[in-house]
Chain A
Amino acid sequence: NAGVTQTPKFRILKIGQSMTLQCAQDMNHNYMYWYRQDPGMGLKLIYYSVGAGITDKGEVPNGYNVSRSTTEDFPLRLELAAPSQTSVYFCAIGRTGVEQYFGPGTRLTVT
């Protein structure tokens, strides 16, 4: 997993609840990313960060927020969960911004 950990592994949320998906790395890489993978699809970028204190939106940011107060951690916050956010969420890291190494994923179900 190239030193990337994600918690929790699985979670079921009710509509309207909130939660934070955790991503932590021990590789001291500057670049961190959040992707979502819907059934039968490739991954889509939600948010990314090029270093502590710097974040920016990806392709599908609506309904999510992120923060990057340290190099190690890049949590993804879901506010007011909706069924459309049912997905598998992957965190990835990169040293140079080219190759990306992925965590094991979090499977989220919103019912």
Chain B
Amino acid sequence: AQTVTQSQPEMSVQEAETVTLSCTYDTSENNYYLFWYKQPPSRQMILVIRQEAYKQQNATENRFSVNFQKAAKSFSLKISDSQLGDTAMYFCAFMKHGGGGADGLTFGKGTHLIIQP
């Protein structure tokens, strides 16, 4: 079984600053996917970014990028030029490769990110 750990329960930064959210995971799998999901106060779960473990290049999506360190089992999310709308819970999630998604996602407990005006 795999576990996902997010060690920062809450973070607060000023608008326009850059912030990095941490995530570590434990697995015996070699091929897998990692995700960051955003959950704003509306409660909707929104996919932010995904990373395939076999890809060395870090994924980026506009202001969001990841630092994927496979050997260290670390998967951090960097948000550049943070905006008020980035205020939300952020969840790191893991999925095994090859199961057709049959095992679903394993989530961390989340980091509450607050962007101050």
Interface residue? A100 (CB, 8 A): yes
Q: Are B105 and A100 in contact (CB under 8 A)?
A: yes
Q: Which of B99-116 contact A (CB under 8 A)?
A: 99-105, 107-110
- Among B44-52, B62-70, B76-84, the one that faces the other chain is B44-52
A 68-79 to B, binary, CB cutoff 8 A, 1 in contact else 0:
000000000000
From B95, B100, B103, B109, residue with most partner A Cβ within 10 Å: B100
A105: chain B residues at CB < 8 Å are: 43-45
User: Which B positions have Cβ atoms within 8 angstroms of A?
Assistant: 4, 33, 35, 42-47, 50, 91, 93, 95, 99-105, 107-110
A40 CA to B46 CA, complexed, in Å? 17
User: Can you spell out 17 A-B residue pairs with CB atoms less than 8 angstroms apart?
Assistant: A33-B104, A40-B109, A41-B109, A42-B91, A42-B108, A42-B109, A42-B110, A44-B107, A48-B101, A48-B104, A50-B101, A97-B102, A98-B50, A102-B46, A104-B42, A104-B43, A104-B44
User: Which A positions have Cβ atoms within 8 angstroms of B?
Assistant: 1, 31, 33, 35, 40-45, 48, 50, 56, 58-59, 88, 90, 92, 94, 96-102, 104-105
Q: Which residue of B lies closest to A100 (CB)?
A: B105
Q: Are A88 and B102 in contact (CB under 8 A)?
A: no
Q: Are A42 and B107 in contact (CB under 8 A)?
A: yes
A99: chain B residues at CB < 8 Å are: 35, 47, 50
Q: Which residue of A lies closest to B43 (CB)?
A: A105
Q: Are A97 and B45 in contact (CB under 8 A)?
A: no
Least distance between A107 CB and chain B CB atoms (Å):
8
Q: Out of A50, A98, A102, which one reaches B44, CB within 8 Å?
A: A102
Q: Are A100 and B91 in contact (CB under 8 A)?
A: no
Q: Are A43 and B45 in contact (CB under 8 A)?
A: yes
Least distance between B112 CB and chain A CB atoms (Å):
10
A105 CA to B40 CA, complexed, in Å? 13
Least distance between A92 CB and chain B CB atoms (Å):
8
Q: Out of A31, A44, A59, which one reaches B101, CB within 8 Å?
A: A31
Q: Are B110 and A102 in contact (CB under 8 A)?
A: no
A26 CA to B109 CA, complexed, in Å? 30
